[in-house]
Amino acid sequence: MTDTQQPFLAGVIEGFYGPPWSPAERLELFDWMAAWGLNTYAYAPKDDLKHRALWREPYADAEARALADLIGAAGQRHLQFIYALSPGLDIRYSDPTERDLLRQRFDQLLALGCRNFALLFDDIPDALSTADREQFGSFAAAQCHVANSLFDWTRQRCPEARFLFCPTAYCGRMAAAQLGGPNYLATLGAQLAPEVDVFWTGPEIISRDIPVVHVRQLQEVLRRKPVIWDNLHANDYDSRRFFCGPYAGRPVELRAEVAGLLANPNTEFPLNFVPLRTLAQFVRHPAAAAWRPRQAYLDAMAEWLPHFATLGEALALEDLVFLGDCYYLPHQEGDQAEAFYQSTRALLEQDPAGWGGAAAAWRREAARLLRVSGQLTGLRRRPLFHALSRRVWELREEIALLDYYVEFKSRPGHAATPCRSDFHQPGTFRGGMVARLQKLLTLDPDGTWSPGSSPATGAGV
């Protein structure tokens, strides 16, 4: 069994691919967390070279001072700081000098004031060298040996240290595919020191739902409660989107079945207010009451609204909610965005000659999104604007095209006339290599892929 006195971890893991957050952003994050009742921050940005690619190299003096300042700032706000190291890309498990390098890195962090650590083996090739296989026999056994050795060494120097481990198969789908080899998770459960917490993302890497029954089954295999590394709001896999919807798809009963909930959110820090605010509300929500994600979202949006102060006309809350609904969660749009999409689809499926007043009603809704996207250009918080601008401008261009099409087709005698836009031309709109490649395969509703259709030459539209 795991340590019974260890506190529930609730907070944020900076564990995405992309530019790490700045010191100022992390301090703002710490202030949010302290105010909202979250207690844990894990440092694991994939693109800190010395976290992953150059894990053998110690931090230089300036880098170490910055980490010491960050650790101190977390401590001042009574937040647990977890330092994570990710050596799995090229570690030689059977080489004792590699374990020495791991200890040297943790020793450097101990000297900087860190007291909690994680060893991550996610997103790596699941193959062993001949020497490693001869010594350990399996991928899981090799990782357990290294992790247990480092855990024992760390606990000797810091008896209260919290120690976490991220497996190579870190979601249900990966485990079912036997990533890491046969019985990978069962071997971890049997051989990993019972005091070591294990990260898990749920049934999928980005899990729409994390059912209680799923976690209880996992407990039997791991022989401990997992810590959820929650990618619900992560957007590093899709640079066109961000997610500002609520913490959802997790029942309140889940809290009793896990050792912690750590959100790995949007790469762009300013976009994480609502995701983290609603996570904090979820963590403190009464156990006997049903969790209402939509209401939590609306409440958090009202709190986020002051961040949208502009040089001109004030942004209305209802318009911010509409915009946020367009960037809600990976698997669903918000209520207003979904309604807008359905009304758009229904309109375009009809003969324009019979649109009547439906076209004018649709254009009024489109005008709201066009107006709010224009208002964002005057945001006083420029980092927030920069995080939003390219994505929202893409939405604006699509709405502008639809609006032009509906207006054109509504003109007398134009219902059957081909529509062309001077501002949406082949190559310059929906163009480029990625857009062309995306047309070659079609993702069907059941999750399968099939050949699509695309012009053989040209930039395409």
Q: What domains are defined for the chain?
A: 9-291 (3.20.20.80), 317-423 (1.20.58.240), 425-461 (no CATH)
pLDDT tens across the length of the chain (461 residues): 444 568 999 999 999 999 999 999 999 999 999 999 999 999 999 999 999 999 999 999 999 999 999 999 999 999 999 999 999 999 999 999 999 999 999 999 999 999 999 999 999 998 899 999 999 999 999 999 999 999 999 999 999 999 999 999 999 999 999 999 999 999 999 999 999 999 999 999 999 999 999 999 999 999 999 999 999 999 999 999 999 999 999 999 999 999 999 999 999 999 999 999 999 999 999 999 999 999 999 999 999 999 999 999 999 999 999 999 999 999 999 999 999 999 999 999 999 999 999 999 999 999 999 999 999 999 999 999 999 999 999 999 999 999 999 999 999 999 999 999 988 888 889 989 998 898 999 988 888 998 975 444 333 33
* 379 vs 314: CA distance, rounded Å: 10
**Which has the closest alpha carbon to 140: 178, 95, 197?**
178
Residue 4: predicted pLDDT: 52
Q: Which amino acid is at 24?
A: A
Tell me the angle at which helices 335-348 and 357-375 cross, rounded to the nearest 10 degrees: 140
* 202 vs 228: CA distance, rounded Å: 7
Q: Which amino acid is at 434?
A: V
Tell me the sheet residues that pair with 260.
Answer: 9, 227
The Cα angle at residue 341 between residues 307 and 415, in degrees rounded to 5: 125
CB 185 within 8 A of CB 170: no
Distance of CA 94 to the CA centre of its chain: 34
Residue 6: predicted pLDDT: 87
The set of residues, in sequence order, having a beta carbon less than 8 Å from that of 80 and lying 6+ positions away, is 7, 9, 11, 39, 40, 41, 74, 116, 162
Catalytic residue among 3, 47, 107, 123: 123
Does the annotation mark 90 as catalytic? no
Structure tokens at 188: 């971890």
Looking at residue 58, what DSSP letter applies?
P
